[in-house]
Amino acid sequence: MKKFATVTLVLLMAIMCIAFAACDKTPEDTTPTEYKVTIDSQNGLKTRTVSVKIGETFDLPNQPYNQGMIFLGWYTTPSGQEGKKIETSFVPESDLTIYARWESASTHVHDFKVGNHIEPTCDKEGYDEFVCYCGKTEKRNSVAALGHDFAFDSSSDDFMSFYPCKREGCTSFGRRPSERNYNDKFVVTFDEARQAKIDALYQEITDTLAEVDRYDAAAHAFVKDSALYAENKAFEEKYNAFYDELVYLVEQYQYSYVFYCVDDNEKNTELYETISEYRTDLITKFYSLYRKIYDTKFREYFFSEEDGWTADDIKEALDTSDSYGGDAYAELNKRISEIEVEFRNIANPGGDKAVLELYEEFVNLKNQIAVIAGYDNYIDYAYKNVYSRDYTPEDVAKTRQFLKEYVKPVYLSVLNDYRNSPKDSLNGDAKSLYYSLSGASFFSSKTVGDYVADYFRTMNSKTAGKTEIDFYKHANELMKNGNYYTGNYQGAFSYWIGAQNTSILYFGPGSYSGAFTFVHEFGHYYNTIYNHGASMSYDLEETHSQGNEMLFLSYLRTALPESVATDIFQSLYANQMFDAYAIVMLAACVDEFEYCVYTGTDPDGNPATYTANDYDALFEKLMSEYGIATSLNPSYWRYVAIESPCYYISYSMSMLPCLELYMVSETEGHEAAMNKYFKLFTFTDDEANVKVDSVGDTVVEIGYSDTLVYAGLTSPFDESLYQRLKEFYTK
């Protein structure tokens, strides 16, 4: 019995433990924690189920697709009148299924009901919105946008400043609208009738030259007021009329190109191409006349000292006539123009082998033109005759060595700064300001407009030249007169229009109308304002523009808000300096590449023959010597060698003194750099630097390097410049 009792006690204790444990356990909770929403699209696809936690919102799914049907909405039943349409997101109160309902598109009739009324704003129209139960909406009773009502100061002549819109809720700013005072002057009037008139005039001149006697020194010696003197004057009237038509056509070409860049529609494209082709033909005809006149009895009268002709002038005219005016030149140039068109039609020059074959033919044709003009190769010819440089490719060879020795380490240092720029860590207002200054349009961004305007206010002097210099005044006149255009073509440029005594400017989208681009083009523009379109070297003209950019960059160091100035300026500085040193090295590399190709030599000066398959390897080899092979595009030459043959060295030669200008601004102060920069315009006030020709045009007599030295800067052929740049930009 004792044993039984023990077992019974153990069992009893176990039961009691179970009982006590059961007392601690709460009854099972049968309340759900989520609901299931089943979605039936009724379009042949499987249903799907979504779990929604209690109290949370279920968002209606996107409109499903059912070919040939119109979606009517989501309902609580698959069809019939008893179902309720679900209009918006909802909080489920139980498990349920929602059904998509459909109606055949062929039988559906819209039943529009009044929906929302949208009030017009400054830049958006107002309207009544009508909605059909199928989801289609329709705008009715449209009201035009109100347009901005900017708070312009009517008593001021300020066209640079931005003014706020006065309408409630509008945050836009705008400038006073330009008066567009040149719209009735910048007009393309060339047509078939004008072309016929020009052709007839040229034909009359050539007929006269064919009919008159050939030159005889004894019979046709110059005698003032003789019958032949009078006959020549009558001929010159026809010649001058033809020359005026050529000037007119060049002006028409400039207008047509600007309008083509603004909008390359069919009309503008056709007009530009027509004028461009005819202009090329007419220039050839014009140059051909010098030799034809020289061979007639008019020789000593047309090319007379009385009209300002010197022996050198006559030789240059005849050389030009034999080169540009001959049939051989015309045929070569015709094929070159065709190659240029073929190149522009290549979508991806960097990856298309057709560029290589085109360039091989292009080089051969260009060298033939040089030979006709008496040169061994095209690069020697282009330096002298196309770009009027006062230095030779052999002179540039010295600068290449300076670049490789001194500037190569500077480029690598600048590249490192660019890659580690703080721009990616900018946020908030600092980020917004940085991206405005690095890419927003001067024409629409108040931020950009204000910084450029404030910079221009610092760029003035009453003593730098014979005429007061005032950048802000002339920028304001530019905005007032409206001799600028914006468009979709990616680029920016300016043309001097002699007939209107002003320039026409073009700015493309994005950064092509940004702060630095506007400042760049204004450098070109101001030179034409101060010097009235006087012909200058490409290098000097690029120094005007790039120098202005460098001074603007230096100005920003102290003009930016103190709280964010350091990171923003470092980012802008890294961008600008990388661009500057990249173009210095890349342009020199392109020039050395072209020198090798046109002269048939390798980089060491040994004879070499190049075919289409050799060009890429040659350029990559040269890039390595400049330290740019791993950071810049190895196909870059393909984009520029046909479009701008032998030009790119000007970017390098002009940027070097601009980098010196920035250095002066940082070490000697903004005013010191500004005064040196202004002398690049005012050097023409010194009679020792210029002369006035027989027709009253100013001709620059001083070379590019001498102009830089005159302004207090350093020649790009002076080794000390490169040493100082290395010391400053790598410290």
Instruction: Give the chain's domains with CATH numbers.
Output: 34-108 (2.60.40.4270), 113-143 (no CATH), 192-385 (no CATH), 393-729 (1.10.1370.30)
Per the model's pLDDT, the better-predicted residue between 76 and 4 turns out to be 76
User: pLDDT confidence of 17, banded at 50, 70, 90?
Assistant: very low
Residue 10 has pLDDT above 60, yes or no: no
What local confidence, expressed as pLDDT, does residue 100 receive?
A: 92
What local confidence, expressed as pLDDT, does residue 107 receive?
A: 76
219-223, 332-336, 723-727: lowest mean pLDDT where? Answer: 332-336
Percent of the chain with pLDDT over 90: 74
Residue 12 has pLDDT above 60, yes or no: no
What local confidence, expressed as pLDDT, does residue 697 receive?
A: 78
User: pLDDT confidence of 81, banded at 50, 70, 90?
Assistant: confident
Q: Please, which residues have CB within 8 angstroms of residue 46's CB and are 6 or more apart in sequence?
A: none
Question: Would you say 729 and 414 are in contact if contact means Cβ atoms under 8 Å apart?
Answer: yes
- The model's pLDDT over 608-649, given as tens digits with 9 standing for 90+, comes to 999 999 999 999 999 999 999 999 999 999 999 999 999 999
Question: Would you say 528 and 496 are in contact if contact means Cβ atoms under 8 Å apart?
Answer: yes
| Mean pLDDT for the stretch of residues 407-431 | 95
- The model's pLDDT over 352-391, given as tens digits with 9 standing for 90+, comes to 999 999 999 999 999 999 998 889 999 999 999 889 899 9
470 three-class SS: strand
What local confidence, expressed as pLDDT, does residue 290 receive?
A: 96
From 333, 346, 341, 318, select the one nearest 378 (Cα to Cα).
333
DSSP codes, 163-211: EEB-STT---EEPPPP--TTTTTS-----HHHHHHHHHHHHHHHHHHHH
Please give the model's pTM, rounded to 2 decimal places: 0.79
Residue 6 has pLDDT above 50, yes or no: no
Task: Tell me the residue ranges of DSSP E strands in 352-462.
Answer: 460-461
What local confidence, expressed as pLDDT, does residue 498 receive?
A: 87
Residue 24 has pLDDT above 60, yes or no: no
User: pLDDT confidence of 23, banded at 50, 70, 90?
Assistant: very low
Phi, psi of 225, rounded to the nearest 5 degrees: 65, 15
339 three-class SS: helix
| Mean pLDDT for the stretch of residues 211-224 | 96
What local confidence, expressed as pLDDT, does residue 9 receive?
A: 30
| Mean pLDDT for the stretch of residues 521-543 | 93
Q: What does the alpha-carbon distance between residue 171 and residue 162 come to, in Å, rounded to a whole number?
A: 12
What local confidence, expressed as pLDDT, does residue 245 receive?
A: 96
Interaxial angle between packed helices 615-626 and 354-372, expressed in degrees from 0 to 180 and rounded to the nearest 10: 80
| Mean pLDDT for the stretch of residues 716-721 | 97
Percent of the chain with pLDDT over 70: 95
Tokens read off for 183? 């719209």
Q: Please, which residues have CB within 8 angstroms of residue 121's CB and are 6 or more apart in sequence?
A: 145, 146, 167, 169, 170
111-125, 215-229, 438-452, 669-683: lowest mean pLDDT where? Answer: 111-125
Q: What does the alpha-carbon distance between residue 325 and residue 283 come to, in Å, rounded to a whole number?
A: 8
Question: Would you say 526 and 505 are in contact if contact means Cβ atoms under 8 Å apart?
Answer: no
From 674, 702, 418, 435, select the one nearest 551 (Cα to Cα).
674
User: pLDDT confidence of 31, banded at 50, 70, 90?
Assistant: low
Q: What does the alpha-carbon distance between residue 460 and residue 161 come to, in Å, rounded to a whole number?
A: 18
DSSP codes, 474-539: HHHHHHHHT-EEE-SSS-EEEEEEGGGTEEEEEE-SGGGGSHHHHHHHHHHHHHHHHHTT-B--HH
Residue 694 has pLDDT above 90, yes or no: no
What local confidence, expressed as pLDDT, does residue 97 receive?
A: 94
Residue 710 has pLDDT above 90, yes or no: yes
Question: Would you say 86 and 119 are in contact if contact means Cβ atoms under 8 Å apart?
Answer: no
Residue 431 has pLDDT above 60, yes or no: yes
- The model's pLDDT over 166-191, given as tens digits with 9 standing for 90+, comes to 999 999 999 999 999 999 999 999 99
Handedness of CA 32, 36, 37, 38 (dihedral sign): negative
Kind and range of the H or E run holding 116: strand 112-118
What local confidence, expressed as pLDDT, does residue 5 receive?
A: 35
User: pLDDT confidence of 28, banded at 50, 70, 90?
Assistant: very low
Task: Tell me the residue ranges of DSSP E strands in 665-712.
Answer: 690-692, 698-700
Q: Please, which residues have CB within 8 angstroms of residue 32's CB and are 6 or more apart in sequence?
A: 54
User: pLDDT confidence of 4, banded at 50, 70, 90?
Assistant: very low
